[in-house]
A and B are shown apart, each in its own frame.
Chain A
């Protein structure tokens, strides 16, 4: 088991657009194998530019990106896409086949599998995603939420070591978000590394251990979610708001109810309040 091994190393990269706007400025980042990370920040802060440097869609103007110890500049996008799978925001930007089965087969094309292996993988993914009933259906007949699920399936079936998501919970209802959570948990169990760009503070606060904040092309924070997303100044700079549970915790403390500092998650807050109310009832 190679725990704590650096799998992505971004070394002081800059990215400047042809029209001279600076998208990334001296950005450095180390990600270890098996980590689950959120990248948050204002629109235009550089988040999507940053993830595009991971699989070579964007080549930094200065600095280097190393994936699994090798410099990206020596590899093509096709090569990198075998190790890093990025799922972009809009599933409609990739769907084009006659059926869902074909859509999945297309995703497996450049991976040098035999026909039998491809069929096997497709069957397995259709099952995992509960898409068996849609096997022959056109991808254009899917609802928005299902299309997003299909986009997820097309990358997961390639089994890349690193998964990168751009706004995975946007437009998804509670059930769909739950399904997404289950999928990433199952991938983490397989030892995958997951990076997520998102605005969904509540989801991040509840589920993601490490958060990176970006503003104006720079990383302004990188650490445990519980520290980063409870910091007023940083949260403001990144154009976010404090998580509801944290706001509630602060409010309770102000009233004089002593909430222990380690309470961050919903479950813990519920236990605390249950105990508190039990105490109140008992004293009556």
Chain B
């Protein structure tokens, strides 16, 4: 049983003529750290919405095909049931924090699921350590910084113990230092809890060193899902209008690009490794 299985799935939002998702076939099996890439409008957010049933249950529209998460159909399984398997952290943490203080925020999802108080207490203790927000429990959402809000949002989703965690542009409003911190924290969580993490991001520089695989989307179609090296060395990646990592554009721009590199270096470390051979 795969973690994620899209079977010829297409979806068009009500009132739109164009299909936001076109015949998606995707199967994700292992626990990995995945980067979801694509130009704006390529369907990334729509794909994410499919993973916990928001499409087609919350977003009205027309669909074809099926989507299964850990064997459960996202069309018939209630979203609240899927929330214990898939957790989504949306783009703007401001609109996800619904409680008046952090502790209430983290308990919220568990309360909704009727999880007993003793279990709630236990999980809160664990998650605040993992996400480093112990000192924020009594604070209100408007009192904390953007980076802190993001960590609270992540904590409030993780506490439902999903096996697949999805984040839609988690570093959008963060400065580079905190962006790096959050991504590193997510990688650590992915490894220690042995879950899968999918991140949709524009800032490739930050993510490429840490991810395993890349899902590539273009115009509502899935155009690639493979190891990051394979995807980033592909023609289709090269042609896309996304913000490529600096090292990638650097090496692509070299005269010796095609003759010397079977695989382009994807990070500074990779690039340095290549040059070590000459010394």
How distant is the Cα of A100 from the Cα of B266 in the complex, in angstroms? 41
Query: Chain B 185-212 against A: per-residue CB contact (8 Å), 1 yes, 0 no?
Result: 0000000000000000010010000000
B172 touches A274 (CB 8 A): no
Given contacts A42-B177, A174-B242, A280-B278, 9 further A-B pairs with CB under 8 A are: A170-B173, A171-B172, A202-B246, A241-B176, A241-B177, A244-B205, A257-B279, A266-B250, A273-B254
Q: Please report the total number of A residues contacting B with Cβ < 8 Å.
A: 37
- Tell yes or no: A119 within 8 A of B by CB: no
How distant is the Cα of A277 from the Cα of B277 in the complex, in angstroms? 12
- Tell yes or no: A245 within 8 A of B by CB: yes
A277 touches B254 (CB 8 A): yes
- Tell yes or no: B175 within 8 A of A by CB: yes
- Tell yes or no: B146 within 8 A of A by CB: yes
- Kindly specify which of A8-16, A24-32, A218-226, A247-255 makes contact with the partner chain: A247-255
For this complex, 13 residue pairs linking A to B, each with C-beta atoms less than 8 Å apart, are A177-B243, A199-B175, A243-B246, A248-B247, A248-B250, A248-B272, A255-B272, A266-B246, A266-B249, A269-B250, A270-B253, A277-B256, A280-B278
Partner of B243, one of A44, A174, A236, A244: A174
Among the interface residues A143, A244, A257, which one has the most CB atoms of the partner chain B within 10 A? A244
Measured between beta carbons, the chain A residues less than 8 angstroms from B145 are 43-44
B176 touches A240 (CB 8 A): yes
- Tell yes or no: A63 within 8 A of B by CB: no
B205 touches A173 (CB 8 A): no
- Tell yes or no: A144 within 8 A of B by CB: yes
B256 touches A173 (CB 8 A): no
Secondary structure type dominating chain A contacts: helix
B253 touches A239 (CB 8 A): no
Among the interface residues B39, B177, B249, B271, which one has the most CB atoms of the partner chain A within 10 A? B177
Measured between beta carbons, the chain A residues less than 8 angstroms from B172 are 170-171
A252-281 CB contacts (< 8 Å) to partner B:
252, 255-257, 266, 269-270, 273-274, 277, 280
What are the nearest 9 A-B pairs in CB distance?
A244-B246, A239-B177, A251-B272, A239-B175, A270-B253, A241-B176, A175-B241, A247-B268, A240-B176
Partner of B202, one of A171, A199, A236, A257: A171
- Tell yes or no: A201 within 8 A of B by CB: yes
How distant is the Cα of A248 from the Cα of B278 in the complex, in angstroms? 16
How distant is the Cα of A243 from the Cα of B245 in the complex, in angstroms? 11
- Tell yes or no: A91 within 8 A of B by CB: no
B202 touches A252 (CB 8 A): no
Q: A248-B268, A252-B272, A252-B275 are in contact. Are A173 and B243 (CB under 8 A)?
A: yes
- Tell yes or no: B71 within 8 A of A by CB: no
Measured between beta carbons, the chain A residues less than 8 angstroms from B278 are 257, 280
Query: Chain B 260-273 against A: per-residue CB contact (8 Å), 1 yes, 0 no?
Result: 10000000110110
B175 touches A174 (CB 8 A): no
A43 touches B146 (CB 8 A): yes
B244 touches A244 (CB 8 A): no
How distant is the Cα of A145 from the Cα of B243 in the complex, in angstroms? 14
B256 touches A248 (CB 8 A): no
Measured between beta carbons, the chain B residues less than 8 angstroms from A273 are 250, 254
- Tell yes or no: B40 within 8 A of A by CB: yes
How distant is the Cα of A244 from the Cα of B260 in the complex, in angstroms? 22
B256 touches A199 (CB 8 A): no
Closest to A274 in B: B255
